[in-house]
Structure 1
Amino acid sequence: MINQVTLVGRLTRDPELKFTTEGTPVTQITLAVNRNYRNQNGEIDTDFVQCTLWRKSAENTCQYCRKGGVLGITGRLQSRYYDSREGKRIYITEVIAESVRFLSSKPKAINTEERKEGGVSVGM
């Protein structure tokens, strides 16, 4: 079986690094990916694709990428579900990244404390 996804899109917000209870770095991002055709109004629609990045890919993306930055991601599609408190089954489909390429101009690394304070801005 083949399960391979390739995306190029823009980050919809600054990525935030989190850690699992075992200490594994992870970040969840959303890529805005333009469709390659126009709708009936002549506009290009955009899909917003949820992606999960693990370990060094997550760390590097959080350190070097900002909202609006262009990323290339290859990975696999994964579906999962959970039951909400109201008893409704919620389905989630996401891309689990296996490779991440930074396609914007090379930004400077940002110190996590500076980012929280809003003292540094990096243009992409």
Structure 2
Amino acid sequence: MINNVVLVGRLTRDPDLRTTGSGISVATFTLAVDRQYTNSQGERGADFINCVIWRKAAENFVNFTSKGSLVGIQGRLQSRSYDNKDGQRVYVTEVVVDNFSFLESRRDRENRQANGGANFAPQGNNAPSTNNFGGNSAPSTNNATPSSDPQPQDPFADSSNSIDISDDDLPF
């Protein structure tokens, strides 16, 4: 059977790290994942997915992420149930995380935290950076002076230099 989940989203709050009675670390968090479509008002909705991660990976996840962090996770969907203190049966469905990736740089994360974590709008360069999942990560929220890095030059901007390509140069 196949049970594989891959999600990219932002943490809705700081992950919660706990230790079981046998000393195993476990962290829980909620991931906000944007939907692909917009509603009639042009707003993009989100799904809020409960996740759990175990052992040393949980400790690393808690140490390097915080509310608003952009992460990619891979794991499996799991359902469980328990009786709460009122004697009612509670059903829980969550993603048990096997692997995760940080999808923003430390600088972007620190800038976001310095700005209160609420501003995800681009500041300056509008070219998004790519992440490990082939999509686009959130733009930088750097409010400092613009970077002195030169813009990449278009190698085809000067049309006076023609490019000579023969059939032997093509790989197919």
3-state secondary structure, aligned to 2:106:
coil
Please give the TM-score of this superposition, normalised by the length of structure 1: 0.82
Return the offset for 1:82: 1.5
The structure with more radius of gyration: 2
User: Once the two structures are aligned, what percentage of the paired residues are identical?
Assistant: 51
Return the offset for 1:66: 1.1
Runs of 4+ that moved beyond 6 A: none
User: Residue type of the partner of 2:76?
Assistant: R
Please give the TM-score of this superposition, normalised by the length of structure 2: 0.60
Count how many residue pairs are aligned between Structure 1 and Structure 2.
111
Question: Which structure has the higher relative contact order (CA within 8 Å, separation 6+)?
Answer: 1
Structural mapping, 1:1-124, within 5 Å: 1-106=1-106, 122-124=110-112
Q: What RMSD in Å do the two structures reach over aligned CA positions?
A: 1.7
Of Structure 1 and Structure 2, the greater strand share is in: 1
How far apart, in 2, do the equivalents of 1:47 and 1:98 lie?
20
User: Residue type of the partner of 1:6?
Assistant: V
Question: Structure 2: which 5+ residue stretches go unaligned?
Answer: 113-172
User: Residue type of the partner of 1:16?
Assistant: D
